[in-house]
Structure 1
Amino acid sequence: MASPRLGLFAIFALAAGLSPLGTSGCTSTSDSKSDTGVGAIVFMKRVHTVVDGQGVRINVSGGNGQVIDYERYEPGGSLALLTPPRADGKLVNLTAAFPQADLNGVDVSFDARQAVFSMKKDKNDRYHLYTAQLSEGENYEVHQLTAGDYDDINPIYLPGRRIAFVTNQMYTEMGTRSDEYEHARVVTQLATISVDGGDADRRLFSQNLSHTVSPFLRHDGKLGYSRWEHLGAVNDVKLFTANPDGTNMIAIAGEHGKPANSLINVREYQPNVMIGVATTRNRTIHAGSLVKIDARNQADPVCLDAKANQAGHACLDEEHVTYTVLTPDVPTMSTPSPAGRYREPAVLPDGRFLVSWADGPVNDLSEQSETPPDFGIYLYDAASGRNQLLYNDRATWDLGAVPVVARAEPPVIGDLAGRQDTSLPVRIGSIDVTQTSLEDKVTGGQFKDTPLRAALKDAVAVRIIEGFSSEAAKGVTMFGLTMHEGAAVLGEAPVYQDGSWLANVPPYIPVHVQPIDKFGMSIRSQGLWIQGVPGEDRRCVGCHESRTGQGVPRYGQNPTIAEQRQALNFVQAVGDRYELPWDKNETASKPYVQQILSAKCASCHNASTTTYYEVSRTDPGTGQTTPYKIPVLDLSDTKITAYYDQQVKEWNASYVSIFYPSAMEMGRVTVKGQVPKMWGVPGSARESQLIAKINVKAKDGSTAWPTPLHPEDKGTTLTDEERRVLILSMDLGGQYFARQNTGFVPFTSGNPVAPGTKY
């Protein structure tokens, strides 16, 4: 599909067989007086346009459609060393022995003598890690560090001759995670190796449910990284940090008030002050606006003084991060840009930044118009807000430039996890669950706009929920008509008089928690996944307590009551974990939702008693409009058809009645008739009108609402367990499917998380 409007020079150069590493003015232009203050840079050249006997093929968005996808491959890429970094510098192709290669991440060692990079040698290979010596005297020697039937990308150097990166390697009973919302794309997780041992010293971190990418080095020797957070309605990319052994994963920015959906390509240039790219979650080819991220504790003068602030000083304050968009003309959404878009900033010794920048709209529409964006290497000065071109080969994307300059190596952090038994549990808990810095209000049941700190005094237990995604459900890309992923209750740990609780949970898996009241309803559902490596202690002060405050046990109790009574054990096999599918539970000993509704509710609430409203969806391609008849309250198992998230499927009438009013928040439909109240609010039983209608009674005889119990007022009785099932179905997120009713079989071949394990 060639077009005369497409980068004609790029097509000419490729067709004529010109080297993509040519240094003539035809393939790169810059001011020969450009001064970066460093002697060389190393960067990746990635092909976007291929000319062959079949014509012209353009790959802009493939593998880059979402903000942190990684599977884009086109042959002909290379790792380039430019000395000095300007148009008349010497350009060396460090991977000339691999003419069909593509690259995905590069970093330079602390002594500036070596680079680590990710390379896929040809179409039959996977992305693996390599090192290249950066001295001509060492013949730019290349060594392979990792192998296997998986991809390793985005490497960075860590203190102590270790390398951090991300991988899509399978290593838990759940196999390789596949993000549920984005329909089974294989996601990446963090790992490390040693420079000397490679795969023989491979260490795998605990898993996130969605992508983890773009690790970066912090001043204190820890690594930071971007993490796609998908938990119910939460769907964005935040910044986290962890120790080099995978312990102590905590958020550092992006939970509160960030200027865009996603923060990626971040680099720290003074303690807890970072530069990165702010962008939307998709359609921008990993590019966006440059943003300064200041996560220092603004109330601590030492934190604001770069000279006085030493590694180890408690300066991080993720609740009050300030963001400064450095390129305000560049949109942080997917709309066309009047000022191009930026990728992959790197910090120069004098405080300026190397960036990749492309003019024009820079989104996946470039593929349709056959005008691929042209990323080149630029010097960006934050003081003036101007770019200065250093190098641009119009036939390739020039990405990920890193200065080749020696830098201080942060202190080595000892291996806290150790090489211990990988079956050891993770311990989680709180000193006092009521300690919180959140200003949320709680409504529903006994609460009416009650401050969270006061509402948490009603907590009697903490529910611990495992999350899983479409890797666990054959043929399922969404777990129902809600945004929530798969869920299993690992257990409910009691909250003692001093507010403490403690539990042991399986290692590596993502979990989130819900403090629950005496009625069994969640007071607040935590909106971040937490996880740990074997033997790790993840106890915190409270329920999202202040990072800059000091946690003090209630009544001065030390140890807490939970510690005195020891942690409850919630480690169990995958098949034994409590899940709650809506229909057709294959585990006969466990009730399911439709079973209760059919027995106790459907005789009064069915197709003959309900009213309807109409939802219409117009196909953007054909213009054809299709109406769907939605019941207001039919609690039977009658199958009806509904449209949700670009799919038309059959569901139980009860499920559509309860959850479709919240599903319509996805948009893309028009409504005719009166939409009913929110019978089911995914993730919140106390805000769900169905739970308010049936009401719920505690063991002390009190009810959550002052209204009569229903259907008892009509002569039918719901047991306490049946009410608990209905409450759980709301609090867990309103899933229709589960592992038990989709044929999931856990991965059990050997020990998938043993150090040094290879596949």
Structure 2
Amino acid sequence: MLNIQHRLSRMTAYGAILLSGFYLASCTSSSKTTAGSEGEVAGVVFAKRSIDAIGDPLDPIEFSAGGDLMTLVPGSASGKLQNLTADMTNGEGDVSDPEIFPQTETDSFRILFSMRKSSADNWHLYEATVKADGSRDGLPTQLTCGSDNEIEPAYLPDGRIVFTSDRPGHLDEYERRKSMLLHVLDPAKSSLLSPAPDCGEGEVVQISFNQSHDRNPTVLKDGTIMFSRWEHLANVNKFTIFKIEPDGTNLFVKYGSHSGVNSFLDARERADGKVTATMMPLSGTFEGGAIGVLDVENESDNGSTASQQLGKIKNIATGRNASANGRYHGAYQVPDGTDRYLVSYSIEGGVSDMEDVEVPKPAYGIYMLGTDGVSKPIKIPSAGSDTVYVEPVPLMAVPADQIPTAKPEKVANRSNLGMTGTLGASSVYDSEANRALSASVLGVDLR
């Protein structure tokens, strides 16, 4: 046990040295950007959560009290920190999944997020208006309601919202847990099918159908929805990147079916059309892994994962093995043309194959991954705290050419029966031979 403790001490010391190196290397940079210094953006919105609320990819609705929606303006270590939901959660709730409406204006911003006000509540979608100084303009609006869970929202170009929810009630065929599936909310339309008609929820349409989870929807520049699908059949048990149209058509795999990486989560499109995603195992790392840069349109998905990794250090673990250089928990490219990234990162936290060794939980904080590939801390948790800072989003305008365009609906009028088709379904046992057999047994010819 003494040798084990010594090894853990060495890992911790190494982590501290490496983190110091990250900071010092970044501080020596003298390059400037439109948002300020190399380690600064105009503002950041992110989730403050307990590490106990960060589950595995299979557990997207984990809850632990103490979560809130936060802003930091400017987005640097010296910025002003503001809690936007403290008067709604009162220390008993949890918040996740902040997402900004892409716009060219900078006076105020629309922010989507998921919130569970207390353990007696469910996860629902909310929208807040946030001023440029990071303060809240009025009380956030609740967008969904009822006894189901809605998380991971993203804006569609026409103002509708794609999200994932367990409201269909389908159970995963192996784990027997409620599957999270993609839906589109139109806040401008009233719904007669709302689970709680008096709450003012808009029209909700389910667009994906899967026995297991569909997670992390984001919108590409061409208006297509990209998401991570839990593929769970026989020996296949992983998250692969898929795409789908907002009307539910053209579902197809986009990347990862043949990769040696088990799961790709938090996939986002970069300005150059490539995709960043967190490459991780299915469990055991608090959704931590390496950030991959994926040329989803031009390269095979069975290439080297080391060469795909974002940042200066390329040997971040993508599996359950210990990762001496820490792990990332998502990345968001800053939309200012500098190829910088807001990342959630922890130098600590790994997994061990030795049952008698307890490794520290990750201490995710907000960092700026600069153009030199070095990370500079922006907001990190206190030592020994269970608080983590995750899911950072730049609180800033987006260039017009980076704003997604709306896609025309292929299913233009779901209520018009003249524009629908007929679905025929039959059993594999419904064969000509079996129908002849039934005629001889039942005395009725079903052919």
**TM-score with structure 1 length normalisation?**
0.45
* Counterpart pick for 2:328 among 342, 349, 356: 342
1:71 corresponding residue in structure 2 = 61
Secondary structure of the equivalent of 1:179? coil
1:440 corresponding residue in structure 2 = none
- Alignment of structure 1 residues 248-267 onto 2, 5 Å: 248-256=250-258, 258-267=259-268
Q: Deviations over 1:121-140 (max 9, x none)?
A: 00000000001111168635
How far apart in 2 are the matches of 1:364 and 1:425? 57
- Alignment of structure 1 residues 531-546 onto 2, 5 Å: none
1:333 corresponding residue in structure 2 = 319
**Does the aligned pair in 2 maintain the 1:31–1:87 contact within 8 Å?**
no
Residue 389 of structure 2 is aligned to residue 412 of structure 1:
no
- Alignment of structure 1 residues 372-383 onto 2, 5 Å: 372-381=361-370
Amino acid at match of 1:338: A
1:214 corresponding residue in structure 2 = 216
**TM-score with structure 2 length normalisation?**
0.75
Q: How many equivalent pairs are there?
A: 374
Amino acid at match of 2:41: V
Shift of 1:368: 8.2
1:277 corresponding residue in structure 2 = 278
How far apart in 2 are the matches of 1:422 and 1:371? 57
Shift of 1:67: 2.1
How far apart in 1 are the matches of 2:244 and 2:201? 21
Residue 341 of structure 2 is aligned to residue 358 of structure 1:
no
Secondary structure of the equivalent of 1:186? coil
Amino acid at match of 1:379: M
1:287 corresponding residue in structure 2 = 288
**Does the aligned pair in 1 maintain the 2:187–2:203 contact within 8 Å?**
no
How far apart in 1 are the matches of 2:411 and 2:154? 21
2:45 corresponding residue in structure 1 = 42
How far apart in 2 are the matches of 1:203 and 1:322? 39
**Does the aligned pair in 2 maintain the 1:344–1:356 contact within 8 Å?**
yes
Secondary structure of the equivalent of 2:152? strand
Unaligned runs of 5+ in 1: 1-29, 49-58, 171-175, 299-317, 428-503, 506-568, 580-589, 592-698, 700-719, 722-759
The higher-RCO structure (CA 8 Å, 6+ apart) is 2
Change (3 A) 1:212 1:96: same
How far apart in 2 are the matches of 1:321 and 1:159? 33
- Alignment of structure 1 residues 28-427 onto 2, 5 Å: 35-36=38-39, 38-48=41-51, 59=52, 64=55, 66-97=56-87, 98-99=89-90, 100-111=92-103, 113-135=109-131, 139-170=137-168, 176-181=169-174, 183-197=175-189, 199-256=201-258, 258-270=259-271, 272-297=273-298, 324-326=308-310, 327-349=313-335, 350-363=338-351, 369=358, 371-381=360-370, 384-394=372-382, 395=385, 396-407=387-398, 408=400, 409-421=403-415
Shift of 1:148: 1.1
Shift of 1:362: 3.3
How far apart in 1 are the matches of 2:286 and 2:416? 38
Shift of 1:154: 0.7
Shift of 1:425: 11
How far apart in 2 are the matches of 1:322 and 1:248? 29
How far apart in 1 are the matches of 2:138 and 2:247? 30
Unaligned runs of 5+ in 2: 1-25, 29-35, 190-199, 435-447
CA root-mean-square deviation: 3.4
Identity, % of aligned pairs?
27
**Does the aligned pair in 2 maintain the 1:128–1:146 contact within 8 Å?**
yes
**Does the aligned pair in 2 maintain the 1:118–1:128 contact within 8 Å?**
yes
Shift of 1:34: 5.7
Amino acid at match of 2:179: V
Secondary structure of the equivalent of 2:324? coil
Secondary structure of the equivalent of 1:329? coil
Secondary structure of the equivalent of 1:397? strand
Shift of 1:373: 1.6
Secondary structure of the equivalent of 2:201? strand
Amino acid at match of 2:360: T
Shift of 1:364: 9.2
Amino acid at match of 1:243: E
Change (3 A) 1:354 1:147: same
Amino acid at match of 2:339: G
1:637 corresponding residue in structure 2 = none
Q: Deviations over 1:487-513 (max 9, x none)?
A: xxxxxxxxxxxxxxxxx64xxxxxxxx
How far apart in 1 are the matches of 2:285 and 2:136? 39
**Does the aligned pair in 2 maintain the 1:34–1:86 contact within 8 Å?**
no
How far apart in 2 are the matches of 1:140 and 1:36? 30
Amino acid at match of 2:348: G
How far apart in 1 are the matches of 2:347 and 2:219? 29
